[in-house]
Amino acid sequence: MAATMKKAAAEDVNVTFEDQQKINKFARNTSRITELKEEIEVKKKQLQNLEDACDDIMLAEDDCLMIPYQIGDVFISHSQEETQEMLEEAKKNLQEEIDALESRVESIQRVLADLKVQLYAKFGSNINLEADERSVICGHCSDLLCHFPPTRSHS
């Protein structure tokens, strides 16, 4: 009987409007982190491509060689030295963008950690805030934390 009362007490946690706002904020920030991490990976690949281009230009033996450099939709030919400088500048700018994105991820992770503490303190094991491959945005209720299979209808 005591176990039944304890289980019932655990299930009777009242979700306030503020709690729901925190849960929603957690879901939005989790989604944002995923987007930022994907953007970081794309930019890291671009940075690697620029580094490879720099290496290829250094290996070129002909110093008089004009190298096409894409600016927008147009290729403009530059000397090896000018192209090298342009690539170095592009690498520097891209690295700054990556650093800024990583800083934003760290900032959001601190917010998520704070929200986790608050939500776990109130809901305990009645809420799951851990990353899970099954956690996808539900097509039925648009809830990021929904664990229902995508084919199952619910409200």
Mean pLDDT along residues 17-26: 96
Using DSSP, state whether 108 is helix, strand or coil. Answer: helix
The percentage of residues in the chain with a pLDDT greater than 90, rounded to a whole number, is: 57
Q: What is the pTM of this model?
A: 0.72
Q: Give residue 14's pLDDT.
A: 87
pLDDT band, very low/low/confident/very high, at 143 (cuts 50, 70, 90): low
Going from the C-alpha of 22 to that of each of 29, 51, 120, 122, 141, the distances in angstroms are: 10, 42, 11, 12, 18
58 vs 142, more confident: 58
What are the chain's domains?
A: 17-126 (1.10.287.370)
150 vs 43, more confident: 43
Q: pLDDT tens digits for 46-88?
A: 999 999 999 998 888 777 788 888 888 999 999 999 999 999 9
Q: Give residue 105's pLDDT.
A: 98
Q: Give residue 40's pLDDT.
A: 98
Going from the C-alpha of 95 to that of each of 36, 51, 117, 134, 138, the distances in angstroms are: 15, 11, 33, 33, 35
151 vs 90, more confident: 90
Using DSSP, state whether 71 is helix, strand or coil. Answer: strand
* Contact in structure between 70 and 53 (CB atoms under 8 Å): no
* Contact in structure between 54 and 91 (CB atoms under 8 Å): yes
Q: What does the radius of gyration of the chain's CA atoms come to, in whole angstroms?
A: 25
Cα–chain-centroid distance for residue 142? 19
136 vs 102, more confident: 102
Q: Give residue 7's pLDDT.
A: 52
Dihedral angle computed from the Cα positions of residues 103, 106, 107 and 109, in that order, rounded to the nearest 10 degrees: 160
Q: Rounded CA gap, 12 and 36, in Å?
A: 36
Binning the chain into helix, strand and coil, the percentages to the nearest 5 are 65, 5, 30
